[in-house]
Amino acid sequence: MDKAFFENIRISFESIRNHLLRTILTVAIIAFGIMALVGILTAIDSIKYYLNENFSMMGANTFNIRNREMVVRMGGRSSNANAYKNISYREALRFKDEFNFPASTSMHTFGTGIATLKFESEKTNPNIQIVGIDENYIYNAGYDIEQGRNLTAQEVTSGAHVVVVGSAIIKDLFKNNEDPVGQIISVGPGKYRIVGVMKEKGSSMGFSGDRNCLMPLNNVRQYFSRPNMNYTISVRTRNAEELEPAIGEATGIFRVIRGDTPGKTETFSVMKSDNIANMLLGLTGQVRLGATFIGLITLFGAAIGLMNIMLVSVTERTREIGIRKAIGATRKTIRDQFLIEAVVIAQIGGFFGIVAGILVGNILSYFIGSAFIVPWPWIILAVVLCFVVALVSGSIPANKAASVDPIESLRYE
């Protein structure tokens, strides 16, 4: 049986050589169908990888605990004011001490959004945001330190006069390309030493983190103090899979800290930072569905083309089939020969389609800065689809060839 199988493969390649132009056209149809399928799905995987990587850096595995938003009601009974009270420093600090989940926990507070920073004769516009942070905030917020270092726990506790600033601030204050690390700048009436510069991130939805001035939490509490300051707690898990368990544990601990009784709504809100990512990933799922549908339609056309070439091949090789039957070939042997030929043609088209699809899909990956994607699941799917297309489109011609009467076929032409 193995000998007959390899003999059929040899005959298939011989037939392909004898009808090269027609075979090339059929292979091209199949290749375009597979390229459309694999290429679009590879591009979608590249986008998904890019989103996962970037939102992981920006907080896809991060959630924030903050006070509930005040809702204004027109008429009726007023809401419980206690449900909207700010999160205090003691509550945030207690949560940080009691939350033992394997994750990075930080707390921060807003100082002001209209600060002016000065260095010698240069100064910024009065639109710098002052944020009081702890030593884990920069990691949790997805920032990177480009120059210098992060704040230390001791500096946070002691309220040291040190700052980590955004890249836009450096461009405003150090126009002569001075090394900003170690320089003394004025923030309001105080003097602060720059210990770190954050890597540029750009703006999103009108907000630019590059204009932030990050100070030790206790320094902001002292010099930018105001009544009833509000604090936000941020938790970043090691990976996205641990996010939901961490949220559950954090919610339970903070309910106790806030004194929320069982059956009552929390007096705080837990906000996940991956909402945008999930929305975009949901859109890629819909695009994937549409791309698969388009690819399958193209493959359907390829199946028709392959069936056509095989039917023509059966007609042209009627005499050959009669000779094979005359020397002892069975119906099964003839049917297997044409089925294998259809499979070989389809797999050749599939090979070129897979290679072209990977290259086309990764063009987008290159331009968006994502990784080079080899979509093994889609490659396996393409191979299987080519095999199915070959069986479906080759079965009718193969059965027709197997049913040819040897006597009539020997008299053909």
Q: For residues 150 and 162, what is the distance between their CA atoms, to the nearest angstrom?
A: 10
* CB-CB contact of 231 with 108 (8 Å): yes
What mean pLDDT comes out for the span 346-361? Answer: 90
Q: For residues 20 and 200, what is the distance between their CA atoms, to the nearest angstrom?
A: 57
For residue 129, give the nearest of 83, 78, 163, 179 by alpha carbon. Answer: 163
Q: For residues 233 and 3, what is the distance between their CA atoms, to the nearest angstrom?
A: 71
Least confident of 88-92, 123-127, 276-280: 276-280
**Strand pairing partners for 122?**
119
For residue 95, give the nearest of 260, 197, 235 by alpha carbon. Answer: 235
Q: Where are the domains of the chain?
A: 2-55+279-410, 62-273
201-241 confidence digits (pLDDT tens): 754 433 456 889 999 999 999 999 888 899 999 999 988 88
Query: How much is the pLDDT for 191?
Result: 94
Q: Mean pLDDT for the chain?
A: 82
Containing H/E element for 270? strand 268-272
Q: What share of the chain is helix, strand, coil (3-state, %, to 5)?
A: 55, 15, 25
**Strand pairing partners for 216?**
133
pTM over the 0.75 mark: no
If one compares 83 and 91, the residue with the highest pLDDT of the two is 91
